[in-house]
Amino acid sequence: MQLNSIKPGSGAKHSKRRVGRGIGSGLGKTAGRGHKGQKSRAGGFHKVGFEGGQMPLQRRLPKRGFKSAQLKYNGEVRLTDLQRLAVDEVDMLTLKAAGLVRQLVKHVKVIKSGELSRKLTLKGIGATAGAKAAIEAAGGSLG
């Protein structure tokens, strides 16, 4: 291979479409826009979802659901995560330091998922009824 013989890959380069340049080009007269109508005219286009004046789909369908902006401040921790944690007294700071909840979180709740076999004390952390029973059964407490 020589430097002067290097060529781009086949199909990598192609000539630009020159529209409206006569019959011979294959794109003369209407320049590939068809006959009449809004899309054939200069500046004649419309926003995404426009259906020619018909009520658009996004307005025909009912509004549904809601996602609270407060969700990003809530976190949850499983019993299995607490089992793996090396400390006996668990509070918000230890959970954030261990990477079990995000730094933004303000309210944490323990959910009953997995088992807990060691004694734990929770400080400033909520728990579901099942998780609370599991923690107390293991000899722990909620502060």
Phi, psi (deg, nearest 5) at residue 108 = -120, 145
Task: Tell me 71's DSSP state.
Answer: G
Distance CA 15, CA 67 (A): 50
- For residues 116 and 132, the answer to whether their CB atoms sit within 8 Å is no
Predicted confidence (pLDDT) per residue in 11-59, tens digit? 999 999 999 999 999 999 999 999 999 889 999 888 999 998 999 999 9
pLDDT in tens, 133-142: 999 999 999 8
Look at domain 70-142 and name its CATH class. alpha beta
End-to-end CA distance of the chain: 77
- 121 close to 88: Cβ distance less than 8 angstroms: yes
CB 88 within 8 A of CB 94: no
Which DSSP string corresponds to 82-141?
Answer: HHH-S-SEE-HHHHHHHTSS-TT--EEEEE--S---S--EESS-EE-HHHHHHHHHTT-E
| Reported pTM | 0.56
Task: Enumerate the domain spans of the chain.
Answer: 70-142
What pLDDT digit, counting tens, does each position of 51-90 carry?
Answer: 989 999 999 999 999 999 999 999 999 999 999 988 999 9
Residue 78 belongs to what H/E stretch?
strand 74-78
